[in-house]
Amino acid sequence: MNYLTGGRRIVVSSLKNIFTFHFTILFLSRIVSKLGDWIYLVVISLIIAEHNPAWIPLLFLMKITANFVFSFIAGSIVDRLGPKFTSISSDIGRAFAIALMPFFLDSYILFLLVFIDHMLSTFFSAALTPILTKTTTKENRHTANSLMEMIVPFSQFIGPFIGTLLLLINQAFSFYIQSITFILSAFSLIFIPYRDDVRKGNPLDGYKKSIAILCDDIMFAGRYLWENHILKNTTLAMTLFILGSTVIDAYEVLYITRTLGLQEEYYAIIISFGGVAYFISTLSNVLLSQRLGLHNLFFVGLLLSILGNVIFVLATNVPMLMIALILMAIGGTPFFVTIFTVMQNIVPIEYQGRVSSIQDVLPSAAAIVATAVSSLFFYVEDLRIMLIISACVMFLATIPGFFAYRGMKDSHNSASSLVDL
């Protein structure tokens, strides 16, 4: 009882320090945007799964290819044009791309719009990192990151229900709602007091000069990641994890509706349950981060998430799927949030856009390879066998994950000034 009472006091005190006026604006804008994101994501997945299931891997490939290609330059542009300007511009651009999708659901132009949407999402993600770092302190940063991560499961819980309802009414509604949420998000970011200090050597001024600057930035960020033992191994662990999990994510809707034979309504319910599980795990992560070192959260989270994916691909009924989603949530939240927090604590804020975007390059490349290879065996191999192989691949992430854990633990024990682990 004392532990629970003390934990509640720690969390309440921590939340009071985190929820400043500006962080609250950022937090609410993300809720609005992510809620619309899940509405449109579920709808487009169900539409394609019903009419063109062969498009599923291609749709997923467009998403991760956009992230991979533009991760090389997104951080450089963010650091030089300014995070605030880049994030607002990205939201507005995504709003227009999403609004056009209902007109091209039976056309290959849909893939171009999905590519544009995720290209701009890459720029936004790179811009959000320094903004979030600026609005938090080293002491409350992991808690703040956990709260921001909590937005995704909350949206995942509410979004599928709304999306399924809108799909029954009108296919286009969900896309228009998502477009409106991006506009609202862009408007709210205007009130974030982040001053964009545009640096010399604007990458958009002069073709030859811009290419040279971007190449220098890519080399700098790559060296920064490779020379830091913790960043290198967390990146490799994330890459190997995503190499296996991408295939499971890409074929999730077909696995649930075709292999397990569940109706579309069950798919929405299962995804929403996953959102609840992630929401609860995020709250527990806020509490545990106050008592456990980040090294423990990282490695235990990795192991639990892998176990959850294994159970998911072996599931034969809904209860097994629920258990799998719970384990994936309990493990996935601390695993990914810790990687993000460690990067923020190690990398100076003026370089975070570049380093964070380059850190996404290897995982994005792994996702592309996994999706491309799996699509070749889509009509050849049994879907469950392909997913089981993908789950086994995820165990490779424990090798660099263990070395990252050791590095974080050593930094924690030595009270490193670089990263508060």
Judge if pTM exceeds 0.75.
Answer: no
Dihedral sign for Cα 131, 137, 138, 142, please.
Answer: negative
- Asked whether 111 and 188 are in contact (CB, 8 A), the reply is no
- Asked whether 43 and 161 are in contact (CB, 8 A), the reply is no
- Asked whether 129 and 353 are in contact (CB, 8 A), the reply is yes
Using alpha carbons, select from 296, 329, 245, 331 the residue that is nearest to residue 404: 296
State residue 264's pLDDT score: 63
Count other C-beta atoms under 10 Å from residue 365's C-beta: 18
Token pair of 348, please? 């100076």
Vertex 147: Cα angle to 141 and 148 (nearest 5): 90
CATH architecture of 12-193+204-413: Up-down Bundle (1.20)
Using alpha carbons, select from 152, 163, 143 the residue that is nearest to residue 125: 152
**Averaged in consecutive runs of 10 residues, what is the pLDDT profile of the chain (421 residues)?**
44 61 80 74 75 74 80 78 86 91 86 88 82 77 76 69 74 80 85 62 52 77 89 94 88 80 70 70 69 84 94 89 86 86 84 80 84 72 84 94 91 52 52
DSSP-derived 3-state class of residue 112: helix
Domain ranges of the chain: 12-193+204-413
DSSP class of 261: -
Non-local (6+) Cβ contacts of 178 within 8 A are: 36, 37, 39, 40, 98
State residue 198's pLDDT score: 52
Expressed in angstroms, the distance from the first to the final Cα of the chain is 27
